[in-house]
Amino acid sequence: MLLQGIGLSCIRDDRELFTNLTFSLQPKQILLLEGKNGSGKTSLLRILCGFREPDAGEVRWGEEAINDSSYYADMAYVGHLDGVKKELTVLENLKVSLALGIAGQYSINDALTKVHLQGYDDVLVQALSAGQKRRLSLARLLITHNVLWILDEPFTSLDKQGIALIESLMTEHCAGGGMIVLTSHHDITLHNDVDVVRINLSA
């Protein structure tokens, strides 16, 4: 499967963030969006997620426009906010995510162990630290099957151990044929010869 952005343009508040942007992403690749604040990184992610239409151009998944394909079943998004319900427990949050998607290679228990949240099943999310909430949001990616991960600043609120953990999860996902689009102010360290494609929206 191939993700393509073809001639994408985005205008916000009468200001052109980017224009005629074209790229492609293949399995086992990461697309890293770089640029200063306000350059359009999050706006581009929103376009790729289908949250807003580009002002020009098209996003394609395989041979079809994303709205005419299986794209939304194949894509998972983690944004600035963690996307977890604070009034639910850790386990309840993951059960909701699993009910809305297709089961992935990790069970809930295995995913919690992987993100170092084992034993937190019955803890309310509101009692978790910011870093733990972030790791919970990323655990959702492990329990559902999604070829494409779209991540907006995934390292937010994580310590060095948490950052290394997420880097290992991204490496594992790509090594298994997955694809990732992300923004990050953190220099990422990946292994297994993961191919990182960079786009600087400030250029």
Q: What is the DSSP string of 159-196?
A: -HHHHHHHHHHHHHHHHTT-EEEEE-SSPP---TT-EE
- pLDDT reported for residue 82: 77
Q: Is 22 helix (H, G, I), strand (E, B) or coil?
A: strand
Q: What is the pLDDT of residues 41-95, one digit of tens each?
A: 999 999 999 999 999 999 999 989 998 888 999 999 998 777 889 999 999 999 9
Closest CA to 103 of 142, 68, 75: 142
* 86-122 confidence digits (pLDDT tens): 999 999 999 999 898 888 889 999 999 999 999 999 9
- CATH superfamily label, 3-200: P-loop containing nucleotide triphosphate hydrolases (3.40.50.300)
Q: Where are the domains of the chain?
A: 3-200
pLDDT tens profile 154-202: 888 888 898 898 899 999 999 999 999 999 877 787 776 788 999 998 7
**What pLDDT, on the 0 to 100 scale, is given for residue 192?**
67
Q: Is the pTM of this model over 0.85?
A: yes
Buried b (16+ CB within 10 A) or exposed e, 156-191: bebeeebbebbbebbbbbbeeebbbbbbbeeebebe
Neighbours of 134 (CB within 10 A): 23
